[in-house]
Amino acid sequence: MAKLRIFIDLDGVLADFDMAAALHPDRNNKGFRPDLALNFGDLHPIPGSIDAVQALLDAGHEVFIASTAPWDQPKAWTDKRLWVGQHFPQLKKKLILTHRKDLLMGDILIDDNLWNGAKDFNGTHIHFGQNGMDWKYVIQTIDNITNLLKIK
């Protein structure tokens, strides 16, 4: 039985968008738009994310990906689905694409931004990338929460 329902953002939390932007051959060109230039399929998983997701699943938590794809780039919707299939096959059928993360019902949202409803999420928002919040720290934080709630 699931303990916590956890939503995980994709860009900047599971998929390493910044790294791909930093390595892009056109990165120094004027007007470079990484969001337009990058092919989502080329993104690598954020260090530690694969093991962390597995640890959450092994602990019995219910894990979903909550991501926003640009409305005017329908290809991005497909690219995200394919990327998840390639790098996180254990999250099959657990991909939610939405512009309103505040509508999600659950306990924890791990997101590196406050946009698209993240700041109004009804559970706990773990702000990934803020104050050294990497995947190791996220797992520690969720362990602390489960201990506090005595749901071990």
Considering CB under 5 A, how many residues would be counted as binding Mg ion?
5
Distance set, CA 94 to CA 57, 67, 127, 130 (Å): 12, 11, 21, 25
As a whole number of angstroms, the distance between CA 105 and CA 132 comes to 27
Q: Which is nearer to Mg ion, 59 or 96 (CB)?
A: 96
In angstroms, give the least distance from the CB of 9 to Mg ion: 4
Which tokens hold the place of 8? 């995980």
Q: Other CB atoms closer than 10 Å to residue 106's CB: what's the count? A: 18
The yes or no reply on residue 11 touching Mg ion (CB under 5 A) is yes
Q: Are 109 and 124 in contact (CB under 8 A)?
A: yes
Is 18 marked active-site? no
The region of 8-16, 33-41, 48-56, 81-89 touching Mg ion under the rule CB under 5 A is: 8-16
> Which residue, among 10, 128, 5, has the nearest Cα to 69 in the 3D structure?
10
As a whole number of angstroms, the distance between CA 119 and CA 104 comes to 12
In angstroms, give the least distance from the CB of 68 to Mg ion: 8
In angstroms, give the least distance from the CB of 101 to Mg ion: 10
What is the maximum span of the chain, computed from C-alpha positions, in angstroms? 53
- The contact mask relative to Mg ion for 89-118 (x = CB under 5 A, - = no) is -----------------------xx-----
Q: Which is nearer to Mg ion, 18 or 62 (CB)?
A: 18
In angstroms, give the least distance from the CB of 69 to Mg ion: 12
Is 58 marked active-site? no
Residues identified as active-site: 9, 11
Using CB under 5 A as the criterion, which residues of the chain lie in contact with Mg ion when the complex forms?
A: 9, 11-12, 112-113
